[in-house]
Amino acid sequence: MKKQITISEIANELKLSKTAISFVLNGKGREMGISEQTQKKILQHLEHINYIPNVSARGLRTGKTKTIAMMVEDISDPFFSSIARVVEEIAYTKGYKILFSSTENDSQRARDLIQVFRRRQVDGYIIAPPPCIEPEISELLDDGLAVVLFDRTLPTLKVDNVLVDNFQSSYNGIKHLINNGYENIAMISLISEQIQMVERHRGYQTVMDEVNKQYIIKSVVYHDAVADNISILQNFFIENSHIDAVFFTTNYLAESGLEAIRNLNLRIPDDLGVIVFDDDKLFRLFTPSITAIAQPISEISTQAVKLILMSLTNKGFKTTAQNVLLKTALQIRESSQPRKNTHE
């Protein structure tokens, strides 16, 4: 095990003080009146020996770890992993590293994770919050930690967040189905009080109200066995044979739903139009391709990192919570093509 080179050793070698090395190392040479000559000497030596500072020591002294925790529902979900990818990349350029973790949308898990992150003294948190986590988030804020929520928010808290317009997106999606001649549109969703889901529901309901149609809603429990969901949805489709289109409120549900549809040998879009909230790289390659409401992954990530870095640097200048609201893009594909039989 090779011993790490320390600042003291460098100081000895160069016949200078630790202080001088540290100043130069942190770019405070000029400010602290270290001569150009000495600075150059130190920098060259640091470069030459490929000095690697000890972050634990630095963290201990400064209280900062240059680490951001990112808590999402499921890091293996393509929506979240894509965001993670971009967030990691941007944060890296600013000297931050990201600790990712999956909450499974379970508040107890999330609480445990926050506890772990606190031990590790992460500087900031980017969170897609599960329900009932307000007290813990609130505590983070009280303790002056940087927090940014995304994908969903906690309306009772004053906290930065970056969201998409779930209501409008959902509204536009359903409207698109209506415009294409679909009449009996079902919504498959999760049993959830979370704001993003509520808004998506509201988008659906608003359109249905506008066109004077009955809601046809099936909600399932999050993270029940996939097989269970498939059969539940199959039964739902069988019992509601008048449905001519279906709106899945998340990509996770679409997976089960598309399988149910396939098992029943229903043809898309002739028997059933389909639209999904959240796009997937492969949806455009389906036969027929699947219409989806695509969230702006890259922009969500960029904004989240931007906000967290602002909080991190502007410590204390916290005036008011920032709310970033982004637009989605309706990717119109074959699964929602204009309905033929009703027009013939």
Partner DNA sequence: TCATCTTATTAAACCGTTTTAGGAAACCAA
Partner DNA sequence: TTGGTTTCCTAAAACGGTTTAATAAGATGA
Residue ranges binding its own copies (CB under 8 A): 1-2, 52-60, 65, 74-78, 81-82, 84-85, 88-89, 92, 97-102, 115-116, 118-121, 142-144, 255, 258-259, 262, 280-288
Are 45 and 13 a contacting pair, CB within 8 Å? Answer: yes
What is the torsion angle, in degrees rounded to the nearest 10, for the CA atoms of residue 89, residue 93, residue 95 and residue 100?
A: -10
Nearest to 246 by CA among 221, 211, 210, 271: 271
* C-beta closer to DNA: residue 26 or 235: 26
CB proximity list for 86: less than 8 A, separation 6 or greater: 297, 298, 301, 302
Q: Judged by CB under 7 A, which stretch of 2-10, 177-185, 229-237, 333-341 contacts DNA?
A: 2-10
Q: Hey, CA dihedral for 137, 142, 145, 151, is it positive or negative?
A: positive
Among positions 2, 15, 242, 343, the unique one binding DNA when judged by CB under 7 A: 15
| Phi, psi (degrees; rounded to nearest 5) at 156 | -80, -10
Place of tokens 């909230």: 277
Among positions 7, 126, 208, 292, the unique one binding DNA when judged by CB under 7 A: 7
C-alpha distances out from residue 153 to 22, 132, 135, 237, Å: 41, 11, 14, 32
* C-beta closer to its own copies: residue 199 or 280: 280
Query: Considering CB distances under 5 to 8 angstroms, the limit depending on partner class, which of its own copies, DNA, none binds residue 73?
Result: none
Q: Does 329 bind DNA (CB under 7 A)?
A: no
The count of residues interacting with DNA (CB under 7 A) is: 30
Q: Hey, CA dihedral for 219, 298, 110, 196, is it positive or negative?
A: negative
CB proximity list for 3: less than 8 A, separation 6 or greater: none
Q: Does 48 bind DNA (CB under 7 A)?
A: no
**Pair type for strands 160-164 and 185-190:** unpaired
Q: Does 54 bind DNA (CB under 7 A)?
A: yes
Residue 46: CB minimum distance to DNA, A: 11
3-state secondary structure of 134: helix
Query: Considering CB distances under 5 to 8 angstroms, the limit depending on partner class, which of DNA, its own copies, none binds residue 37?
Result: DNA
Q: Does 6 bind DNA (CB under 7 A)?
A: yes
The C-alpha atoms of residue 279 and residue 297 are separated, in whole angstroms, by: 10
Residue 278: CB minimum distance to its own copies, A: 12
* C-beta closer to DNA: residue 53 or 296: 53
Are 84 and 273 a contacting pair, CB within 8 Å? Answer: no
Residue 5: CB minimum distance to DNA, A: 7
- Helix-strand-coil split of the chain, %, nearest 5: 45, 15, 40
Residue 37: CB minimum distance to its own copies, A: 28
Among positions 16, 264, 321, 326, the unique one binding DNA when judged by CB under 7 A: 16
Among positions 12, 13, 26, 135, the unique one binding DNA when judged by CB under 7 A: 26
* C-beta closer to DNA: residue 20 or 261: 20
Residue 124: CB minimum distance to DNA, A: 18
Which residues in this chain contact DNA in the complex, by CB under 7 A?
A: 3-8, 15-20, 22-23, 25-26, 28, 32-35, 37-38, 53-54, 57-58, 60-62
